[in-house]
C-alpha cells in the first residue's frame, strides 16, 4: 500500500534542499533572483517550505545550482526508491 503523501513535509524537505544548495555555494538571494528570474519572496518562501514553485522555476534553480533534478527528489516523502 502506498504511503500517504504529506505535502507540508515534502515542501519543507525540498525547500531545505534548495536552501542548502544556495548556501553551500555561497550564493546570496539577490544573485539567484537576478539569474533565475524569480522574486525574492518566492525564493525565500520556497526555501522555507511555505510555497510551491512551478516546474520551470524548479528546473531553472536546479540548472543554476548545477543540481540533478532526480537527485533533488531522493529522500523526499513519496519519492523514495
What pTM, to 2 d.p., does this model score? 0.82
Residue 47 CA: distances (Å) to CA of 3, 4, 44, 67: 24, 23, 5, 15
CATH value at residue 55: 1.10.260.40
- Domain count of the chain? 1
- Return left, alpha or beta for 58; rule: phi > 0 is left, psi -120 to 50 is alpha, else beta: alpha
Residue whose entry in the numeric block shows the C-alpha cell 512551478? 54
pLDDT band per the 50, 70, 90 thresholds, residue 1? very low
Residue 17's Cβ-side half-sphere holds a number of Cα atoms within 13 Å equal to: 20
Q: Which region among 6-20, 46-60, 65-79 has the lowest average model confidence (pLDDT)?
A: 65-79
In a domain, 42, yes or no: yes
Rounded Cα distance between 24 and 66, Å, is 12
Domain that holds residue 63: 7-73
Model confidence at 80: pLDDT above 80: no
Residue 35: per-residue pLDDT: 96
Query: Model confidence over 17-64: pLDDT tens digits?
Result: 999 999 999 999 999 999 999 999 999 999 999 998 888 998 999 999
The answer to whether position 12 is within a domain reads yes
Q: Output the pLDDT for position 81.
A: 52
- H helical segments located in 1-81: 7-24, 29-36, 40-47, 55-65, 69-73
Amino acid at each position: 500500500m502506498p504511503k500517504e503523501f504529506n505535502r507540508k513535509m515534502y515542501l519543507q524537505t525540498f525547500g531545505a534542499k534548495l536552501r542548502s544548495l544556495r548556501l553551500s555555494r555561497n550564493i546570496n538571494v539577490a544573485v539567484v533572483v537576478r539569474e533565475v528570474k524569480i522574486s525574492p519572496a518566492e525564493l525565500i518562501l520556497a526555501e522555507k517550505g511555505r510555497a510551491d514553485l512551478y516546474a520551470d522555476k524548479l528546473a531553472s534553480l536546479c540548472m543554476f545550482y548545477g543540481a540533478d533534478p532526480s537527485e533533488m527528489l531522493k529522500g523526499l516523502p513519496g519519492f523514495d526508491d
